[in-house]
Amino acid sequence: MSAAVISRLLRAPSDIAASCREDRDTRAIALASLGAIALGSAVFGGVIGSFRGGEQILYAAIKVPLAMLITLALSAPALHALAAVLGRPRPMRSVIALALASAGRSSLVLLAFAPVLWLLIDLGLGYHASSVVAWLAYAVAGLAALGVLVRGIGAGPGRVLTAIAFMAVFFAVGGQAAWILRPYLGRPSEKTVPFLRAREGSFSDALVRSFRSALGIYDDGCPPHADDYRYGYPSPHEEGAAGDGPAEGER
């Protein structure tokens, strides 16, 4: 991992984007970005897993960078195709370097947020609050990645459309990859946390359910109790009549 490239990712993302656009230093940028992804996202994942502790730290440290790499592997060819269709053809190596640089910069942002999240968890931040803080960190990291990506696409016709199309593909693929590899925090009600949870639908299904729940619409007609929601426990209908078992689909 080149310290010079990492420094450019942090201090001069526009220079990195220009190098990718002009097909310069793509190998060095790709390798350094891979190192940044491995380090930054693994550390951030480990911090997320520290909410539960134990093996969950290792699990999350593996799954966060894995989800990112899976997303990049599936999304980079889409970016290459979209750019070509919209009149912005680029060599595949340039597109891959740009995608890796975007993810590398976002991973460095996650690395910067990791000590803050770790401190908050150590001070007793709850399950849902920890999820929100992690989501906010991802949002800021995503904006950092988007800045590199848009600069790398370059000025001219089709720039905005290419960026929007790629973001849509990246969001869909990344969301599904993250959904398949969950859990990351680990619910407090679970006695043991598996490496992978049962599929239980898709990422889009989860978005629809979350949106309906936010509107007070529960598909099974049973909203969570306030105390259960506050501490991250599933609602009584999920736990069964006795109220002490794992949620359906997590056994």
Q: For residue 32, give both structure tokens.
A: 């350094």
Q: What region, left, alpha or beta, does residue 23 occupy, with left being phi > 0 and alpha being psi -120 to 50 degrees?
A: left
User: Can you tell me the distance from the alpha carbon of 221 to that of 56, in angstroms, rounded to the nearest whole number?
Assistant: 32
**Structurally, how many domains does the chain consist of?**
2
Mean pLDDT of 91-97: 91
The answer to whether residues 161 and 221 belong to one domain is: no
The answer to whether residues 19 and 102 belong to one domain is: yes
Q: What is the pLDDT of residue 30?
A: 95
The answer to whether residues 34 and 99 belong to one domain is: yes
Which of helix, strand or coil describes residue 53?
coil
Residue 123 located in a structural domain: yes
- Whether residue 24 has pLDDT greater than 80: yes
Residue 147 located in a structural domain: yes
User: Can you tell me the distance from the alpha carbon of 137 to that of 19, in angstroms, rounded to the nearest whole number?
Assistant: 27
Each residue's pLDDT tens digit, 165-200 = 888 888 888 888 888 888 888 777 778 888 777 666
- Whether residue 145 has pLDDT greater than 80: yes
The count of other CB atoms within 10 Å of the CB of residue 109 is 21
The dihedrals phi and psi of 173, each to the nearest 5 degrees, come to -70, -45
The answer to whether residues 136 and 224 belong to one domain is: no
Mean pLDDT of 82-93: 84
DSSP states of 159-211: HHHHHHHHHHHHHHHHHHHHHHH--SS--TT-SS--SS----S-HHHHHHHHH
Residue 141 located in a structural domain: yes
Each residue's pLDDT tens digit, 192-242 = 888 777 666 665 666 666 556 556 665 555 554 443 343 344 443 443 333
- Whether residue 103 has pLDDT greater than 50: yes
Torsion sign (Cα): 191, 194, 200, 201: positive
The answer to whether residues 32 and 85 belong to one domain is: yes
Residue 131 located in a structural domain: yes
Domain extent at residue 217: 203-239
> Considering the chain, what is the average pLDDT of its residues?
81
Q: Where are the alpha helices (DSSP H) in 86-126?
A: 92-122
The answer to whether residues 90 and 210 belong to one domain is: no
The answer to whether residues 104 and 215 belong to one domain is: no
Q: For residue 78, give both structure tokens.
A: 């889409």
